[in-house]
Amino acid sequence: MRRSGFLALLILALLGLARGAIEFDDEYEEEEEEEEEVKLPPNRQKPAASGALEVSKTAQEEKQTPVSFTLEHALNDDTFTPCGIFTAKATHSPNVQAVRLTELRLKRDPTSADSEKKLVKLLEYDRHYRVRVPNNVFGSEKGRYVMASLPLKCLVNADLNENYVLHLDDLGNIVAMDYTTPSGECIMEEVAPPEEWKFNPLAFVRLPKDAPRLNPDFSAQGPGPKQTGAEGEDLAAGAVNTFEGSEEDAKKKPPQSFFKRYWMYLVPLGLIVMNTIIAPPPEEQPRGKAKTR
What are 62-116's pLDDT values in tens digits? 788 899 999 999 998 778 999 999 999 988 776 667 788 889 999 999 999 999 9
The answer on pLDDT for 202 being more than 60 is yes
Residue 17 near residue 25, CB atoms below 8 Å: no
Share of the chain above pLDDT 70, in %: 60
Instruction: Please choose, from the candidates 3, 33, 174, 165, the residue with its C-alpha nearest in 3D space to the C-alpha of residue 90.
Output: 174
Instruction: Please choose, from the candidates 139, 130, 133, the residue with its C-alpha nearest in 3D space to the C-alpha of residue 165.
Output: 133
Q: Model-level pTM?
A: 0.53
Pairing of strands 161-168, 200-206: parallel
Amino acid, single-letter form, for residue 14:
L
Average pLDDT of span 169-197: 91
The helix/strand/coil state of 19 is helix
109-157, pLDDT tens digit by residue?
999 999 999 999 999 999 999 999 999 988 777 788 999 999 999 999 9
Cα torsion through 19, 22, 27, 28, rounded to 10: 140
Q: Please report the pLDDT score of residue 132 as a whole number.
A: 94
